[in-house]
């Protein structure tokens, strides 16, 4: 009886997070960002409250599609995106703040906020985690782009394949704004 009850309890305690959708409010989680004093926590509410933010997510910093396609499009189009009434552009990845800071330096852009989601807390909370364990990458974030207005999702484009940045890229976003 013990093992069955324990198994049933574990099953009951497991929560299934449905992917976030347009109209939903983002959950409160904490990112990590690099500062002059080192890594610091940054609550998601601080990122989104009172602002219109484009948030795009990538499976991993320095990975081919992320570094050669997804991020460069947002760096190149940051001014055009902000001219459409966007207050900030942010990128998140399941990487630590040191890697995200190095990726920011490599990109050469101060127009984008780099938000480390090292334990995939945000990715899991919005139901957009990606299990890339088969490729040795563990739990990551799906590739997507969303427009968030004061914490509420106004648009969301999720890639069907991690190696593509078509519907979630800067060009597609610009056309939708």
Catalytic residues: 66
Please state whether 108 falls in left (phi above 0), alpha (psi between -120 and 50) or beta: left
Other CB atoms within 10 A of residue 150 CB: 13
Whose CA is closest to 115, among 140, 143, 96, 139? Answer: 96
Whose CA is closest to 74, among 167, 173, 156? Answer: 173
Place of tokens 């940054």: 42
Place of tokens 């690099």: 34
């Amino acid at each position: 009886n013990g093992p069955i009850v324990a198994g049933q309890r574990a099953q009951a305690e497991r929560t299934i997070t449905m992917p976030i959708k347009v109209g939903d409010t983002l959950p409160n989680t904490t990112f990590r960002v690099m500062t002059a004093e080192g890594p610091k926590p940054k609550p998601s509410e601080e990122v989104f409250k009172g602002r219109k933010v484009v948030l795009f997510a990538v499976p991993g910093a320095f990975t081919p599609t992320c570094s050669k396609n997804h991020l460069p499009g947002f760096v190149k189009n940051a001014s055009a995106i902000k001219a459409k009434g966007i207050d900030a552009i942010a990128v998140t990845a399941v990487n630590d703040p040191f890697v995200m800071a190095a990726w920011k330096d490599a990109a050469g852009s101060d127009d984008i906020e780099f938000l480390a989601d090292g334990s995939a807390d945000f990715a899991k909370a919005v139901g957009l985690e990606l299990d890339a364990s088969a490729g040795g990458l563990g739990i990551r974030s799906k590739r997507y782009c969303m427009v968030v207005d004061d914490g509420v999702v106004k648009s969301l484009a999720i890639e069907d394949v991690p190696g593509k940045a078509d519907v979630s890229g800067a060009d597609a976003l610009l056309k939708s704004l």
